[in-house]
Amino acid sequence: MRLLVLFCVFLYLVGVIRAAPTTNTTNTATSDSFKAPSFTTRTIWSIISSSVLTLFACTYSAIHPNIPSLKDSPLRLLRRRLGIMIMALIAPELIITWAMRQLISARHVTRQFKESEYFKTHSFFVLMGGFMLHVDGKPYLTLQPDHILKLIRKECIDVPTLTADQIQDKSKGNAISKGLVMLQVAWFVMQLITRAIYHLETTQLEAGTLAFAVLNFLTYTVWWNKPLNVRCPHPVYWKSTGSRPEDHV
């Protein structure tokens, strides 16, 4: 089914690009009787490559998935990532909604863990399944914020002491990598603004990519403090001898 969707998207892009103006059709003067500079001319390949690169940045690099299960195979992780990318292409507003809900929840978790000096990075890490309860040296349960608070108050576990720097060390993205993606998107937007100034046409593909670029800025802003592509949760060990986790969780 996903291959069929991708094939349909490919056929749509081919039809859109056929109508794109190339370097053979961009030598006309504007309505203000001056010629467009040379950097506003482009080929079909430049249109495709710029748009596809921006779409990739918006649908792959900008998405911050939650931590997968320890039982998930690499193939399953790949299928999961492709599914999120397809969803981002079909309904990008759902990704924005997902990010906004996590931001609101992260602020709530930050208030709950105020005594433990947890920051927004910690809150995102908790919500994405960052803490795994270990019992008898084996993974037992992914801890939710309510679980952690409850078990800490009953002295069943110690307060996780993972610092914000240690969490970011687990992340596959930092300010530089995120900034480069946003720079690519900003460069694409600037190109379209330049063409609008000189009254030059843009293709439907570029117009659609511009919409993705705007949503990408919103997504990156909301998820700026969320770790990217963390694979393994941080272990939290059960220390109570008078009860079992199933008695509390």
Domain presence at residue 240: yes
Domain count along the chain:
1
Task: Specify the pTM.
Answer: 0.69
Cα 65 to Cα 87: distance, rounded to the nearest angstrom:
13
Domain presence at residue 7: no
Domain presence at residue 47: yes
Contact indicator for 155, 240 with CB cutoff of 8 Å: yes
Contact indicator for 151, 249 with CB cutoff of 8 Å: yes
Q: How do residues 18-49 score in pLDDT, each as one tens digit?
A: 444 444 444 444 444 445 555 556 788 888 88
Domain presence at residue 26: no
Domain presence at residue 14: no
Domain presence at residue 205: yes
Question: Exposed, middle or buried: residue 38 (CB in 10 Å: 0-12, 13-18, 19+)?
Answer: exposed
User: What are the two backbone dihedrals, phi and then psi, of residue 135, each rounded to the nearest 5 degrees?
Assistant: -120, 125
> Which residues are bridge partners to 133 per DSSP?
141, 236
Q: How do residues 190-208 score in pLDDT, each as one tens digit?
A: 888 888 888 888 888 888 8
pLDDT band at 136 (very low <50, low <70, confident <90, very high): confident
Domain presence at residue 185: yes
- Domain span holding position 90: 43-65+77-247
Residue with more model confidence, 215 or 25:
215
Q: Has residue 233 got a pLDDT over 70?
A: yes
User: What are the two backbone dihedrals, phi and then psi, of residue 65, each rounded to the nearest 5 degrees?
Assistant: -75, 160
